[in-house]
Amino acid sequence: MLIDYHMHLEQGDFSPSWLRRFLDTALSRGVQEIAITEHAYRFRQAAGLLPAWWEQRTGPAQDLEEYVNLITTAQREGWPVKLGIEIDYVPGREDDIARRLVEPYPWDVVLGSVHWLGDWPFDVDPASWQGRDVDSAYGQYFATLARMATSGLFDVISHPDVIKVFGFRSRQPLAPLFRPVLEAAQARHMAVEISSAGWRKRVGEVYPAPELLDLVQALHLPVTLASDAHRPQDVAADFGRLCEYAWTHGIRQVTVFSRRSPSQRPLGPESTAEAGAAG
Ligand SMILES: [Zn+2]
């Protein structure tokens, strides 16, 4: 089975026709099930979680109810679409995240992301890296990710090494930084996302990097597959290559979620062939 468990409708509206374009692209590329995972910060229910300047920049706040209605209506009509949300983990705001964003809605899957180190959104502008200590940025990133995994709020660790997005590389080995993240994730029955989005970014490398995926495999953590598409044409982007990457690292199953309950599906060699054929 092929899944794409990370994508965003945010460049369009919450209409069935816009959603259908994402689903149709997925189906045409051999993907049987998708999860829509809007960014929580776009919704009024997340107000105050991230700095005010960011909320102004991301435009007028939307309503989570409208989004949830769109997806649950599609589900009732039999569309193979999961209701997801991608939440920025903000250390110290666990209770707010739980009470305002996680608990009130019938999520199938909740993605946890770290895009902010303190008040610095490290993946927005490469110029913001000027004068920063890259090693300590990596250290802080993985420490925050470990805290996120420990929080127990999330089902999936999104783009686990997104700190590399602009190609600034730490000199230290990353596996020792990543291991505590995975051990915390393991204790919470979380999955780790394998994402083709990194190939579309300046770094030009899949998330997570091979040595980190080896560690995921060594610890037997479940995985999801993701494109992080923000446009229909990026749904299941590079999935032939992504499946091959997973397969050559020994991965034989992908995780699907219903109402936050995970189960495993075989990632057969036929899946990679399908995705490869579809490009
Ligand atoms: Zn995303």
Contacts of 272 (CB under 8 A, 6+ apart): 240, 243, 244, 247
113 CA distance to ligand 1 middle (Å): 8
Average pLDDT over residues 22-33: 97
Q: How far is the CA of 35 from the centre of ligand 1 (A)?
A: 11
Distances (CA, A) of 188 to 61, 156, 183, 207, 262: 31, 10, 9, 21, 12
Please state, rounded to an integer, the average pLDDT across all residues of the chain: 95
> Residue 87: its pLDDT value, please?
98
From the CA of 86, how far away is ligand 1's center (Å)? Answer: 6
Which range of 158-162, 268-272, 274-278 scores highest in mean pLDDT? It is 158-162
When pLDDT is averaged across residues 254-269 and rounded to a whole number, the result is: 92
CA 70 / ligand 1 centre spacing (Å): 19
| 31-73 tens-digit pLDDT | 999 999 999 999 999 999 998 889 888 878 999 999 999 999 9
CA distance 169 to 177: 14
Token pair listed for 182? 């995975």
Instruction: Using DSSP, state whether 233 is helix, strand or coil.
Output: helix
Write the pLDDT tens digit of every residue in 192-201: 999 999 999 9
Say if residue 231's pLDDT is above 50.
yes
Among 60-74, 162-176, 258-272, which is the least confidently predicted range? 258-272
| Ligand 1 centroid distance, CA of 197 (Å) | 9
Q: How many angstroms does the Cα of residue 215 sit away from the middle of ligand 1?
A: 23
Q: Give the residue extent of every domain in the chain.
A: 3-278
Q: How far is the CA of 116 from the centre of ligand 1 (A)?
A: 14
The answer to whether the Cα torsion of 167, 170, 173, 177 is positive or negative is: negative
Q: Which CATH class is domain 3-278?
A: alpha beta
